[in-house]
Chain A
Amino acid sequence: MTLNGAFWDGALRVSVPFTNGQPLTRLKAGSKVLLSGVVYTARDAAHKRIVEALDRGEKPPFELEGQVIYYAGPCPPPPGRVIGSLGPTTSGRMDAYAPRLCAAGLKGMIGKGKRSKVVVRAITKFGAVYFATIGGAGALLSQAVKKAEVVAYPDLGPEAVYRLEIADFPALVAIDPLGRDMYNRS
């Protein structure tokens, strides 16, 4: 079983990270995308440490400029597999940290669920984008991960920062750089 075929028909192919500095205006709320390239995972505990590092004037564990963070913590890989199940976690728990990271250069976030007004404002201010993917489909989504390695905070276990190489990872543009929000359709 793969993610190919008719699945995610009509999706825009998008390369990540967004390091060429081009505006992300072609990404519009509601559009389907297939993401390929490199992203980093970070959840609650990793965010806390990254923000604490920034506050102390230290370098974050990976370059934030143009980068995309996937809010996720994987299951361990069984022998012979790249990674275990790996779907999105609830993005709202990272709302307290996201504006700080956007200010430091972060351009994309992948997760599931609503974001606060403060995050929507940070997204528009810094021209970032929030992608939502399919919560609870971790088995299927793990198929889009081609390579995975822990690059920071290994003591956090599933909350460690992983560098992931992804290919055709399905998502939706949930909040676009103009602040249009799929979760707030009214």
Chain B
Amino acid sequence: MYIHAGEIEDLVRDLCIKAVTDLPGDVAVALLAASRRETSALGREILGALLKNAEFAKETRTPLCQDTGLTYVFLEIGRDVRIEGDIKEAVTRGVARGYTEGYLRKSVVRDPLFHRENTEDNTPPVIHIDIVPGSEVSVTVLPKGTGSENMSAVKMLTPSAGPQGVMDFVLETVRQGAPNACPPMVVGVGVGGMMDTASFLAKKALLRPVGDSNRDPEIASMEKKLLAAINNLGIGPGGFGGITTALAVHIETYPTHIGALPVAVNLQCHAARRASGILRGAERPCSQNQHSSR
């Protein structure tokens, strides 16, 4: 089965714009439910403003938040698919077009250290590729703002810390970071593997629909306990007080070393933006000419 790189470029372009202007339904539902539960009057007003913001953003195709992020693109490529063209180049071109044609903010600097010059098209994105069974390509775009990203943290715990040590670290990271991270947040937690595995899992946890529990009942119960503890901190919507500091806690795990217990916390703001699409392979290859004449 064949998929032309140009189709991936077009899809990535569209998903960049959709992600930042169209708040996922599960996030909107969670905000609405929170606005009914919230005990602080100011908190309810903030949550109401966030829902209005989402409506206005969708109607007018204005980004929900001016920080349209560094673009994380997750690709799942079916092992029976043959990509015609360079997939990473296609994704990068899609991001550049999405951010330029969609009037999104370009927030990427070429060199983090000495030459912080804007690349002016929000490239390069961060690209993660997985090979999966099947003959489709699934693309998810997660534009991640730095307000919440900067408040994220990794810690190399050791086994004696146990589940309680993990919970304490998550809670402390939220206590320190939440007021700056545009609460109510989605809290992504990654546990296991190595340092980078835990960080990646924490990011991947943000792709789960808000409120979907981990399939493992012990982990699901830990998610519930953490959510209750976080909402007990009193930080509230916008950090101005209240019982809605997080909308969900999502934990993902991976096997780890006998001597290790790495944990990462990736905070996601209430503008928990993501958009996905699927491309199905064609029986025959499509030439570059055919694609560009579409």
- A: residues with CB less than 8 A from B are 1, 7-9, 45, 72-78, 84-87, 89-90, 92-93, 112-114, 132, 134-140, 142-143, 156-159, 170, 172, 182-183, 185
Query: Are A8 and B45 CB-contacts (below 8 A) given A75-B68, A85-B66, A136-B271?
Result: yes
Judge if B59 is at the interface, Cβ distance under 8 Å: yes
- Residues of chain A within 8 A (CB-CB) of B150 are 90, 93
CB neighbors of A among B254-270 (8 A):
269-270
Number of A-B contacts (CB under 8 A): 136
Q: Contact check, B105 vs A158: say whether CB atoms are below 8 A apart.
A: yes
Q: Give B41's nearest chain A residue, CB to CB.
A: A9
CA distance A34 to B197 in the complex (A): 46
Q: Contact check, B118 vs A135: say whether CB atoms are below 8 A apart.
A: no
- Residues of chain A within 8 A (CB-CB) of B271 are 136
CB neighbors of A among B1-53 (8 A):
42, 45-46, 48-50, 52-53
State the main secondary structure of chain A at its contact with B: loop
Q: Contact check, A85 vs B106: say whether CB atoms are below 8 A apart.
A: no
Q: Contact check, B105 vs A73: say whether CB atoms are below 8 A apart.
A: yes
Judge if B63 is at the interface, Cβ distance under 8 Å: yes
Minimum Cβ distance to chain B for residue A82 (Å): 12
Q: Give A137's nearest chain B residue, CB to CB.
A: B53
Select A138's contact among B55, B59, B64, B146, beta carbons within 8 Å.
B64
30 sample A-B contacts, Cβ–Cβ < 8 Å, listed by A number: A7-B52, A72-B66, A73-B66, A73-B67, A75-B66, A76-B104, A78-B62, A84-B62, A85-B57, A85-B62, A85-B68, A85-B105, A86-B66, A90-B150, A114-B180, A132-B239, A135-B182, A135-B269, A136-B147, A136-B270, A137-B49, A137-B65, A138-B63, A138-B66, A138-B67, A139-B60, A139-B64, A140-B52, A156-B118, A183-B239
CA distance A72 to B105 in the complex (A): 12
- Residues of chain A within 8 A (CB-CB) of B146 are 90
- Residues of chain B within 8 A (CB-CB) of A89 are 67, 147
Select A135's contact among B56, B104, B116, B147, beta carbons within 8 Å.
B147
- B: residues with CB less than 8 A from A are 42, 45-46, 48-50, 52-53, 55-57, 59-68, 103-107, 116, 118, 120, 146-147, 150, 179-180, 182, 238-241, 269-271
Query: Are A75 and B120 CB-contacts (below 8 A) given A132-B238, A135-B269?
Result: no
Q: Contact check, B103 vs A76: say whether CB atoms are below 8 A apart.
A: yes
Most buried by A among B52, B59, B150: B52
Q: Contact check, A140 vs B66: say whether CB atoms are below 8 A apart.
A: no
Minimum Cβ distance to chain B for residue A112 (Å): 7
Q: Give A79's nearest chain B residue, CB to CB.
A: B103
CA distance A75 to B104 in the complex (A): 5
Q: Give A183's nearest chain B residue, CB to CB.
A: B179
Q: Contact check, A90 vs B147: say whether CB atoms are below 8 A apart.
A: yes
CA distance A140 to B45 in the complex (A): 14
CA distance A77 to B63 in the complex (A): 11
Minimum Cβ distance to chain B for residue A70 (Å): 11
Q: Contact check, B49 vs A140: say whether CB atoms are below 8 A apart.
A: yes
Q: Contact check, B65 vs A134: say whether CB atoms are below 8 A apart.
A: no
- Residues of chain A within 8 A (CB-CB) of B67 are 73, 87, 89, 138
Minimum Cβ distance to chain B for residue A168 (Å): 13
Minimum Cβ distance to chain B for residue A36 (Å): 18
Q: Contact check, A157 vs B120: say whether CB atoms are below 8 A apart.
A: yes
CA distance A84 to B68 in the complex (A): 11
Q: Contact check, B105 vs A76: say whether CB atoms are below 8 A apart.
A: yes
Minimum Cβ distance to chain B for residue A157 (Å): 5
Select A113's contact among B60, B105, B107, B239, beta carbons within 8 Å.
B239
Q: Contact check, A134 vs B62: say whether CB atoms are below 8 A apart.
A: no
**Would you list the 5 A-B pairs with minimal beta carbon distance, nearest first?**
A113-B180, A135-B182, A139-B57, A85-B63, A138-B66
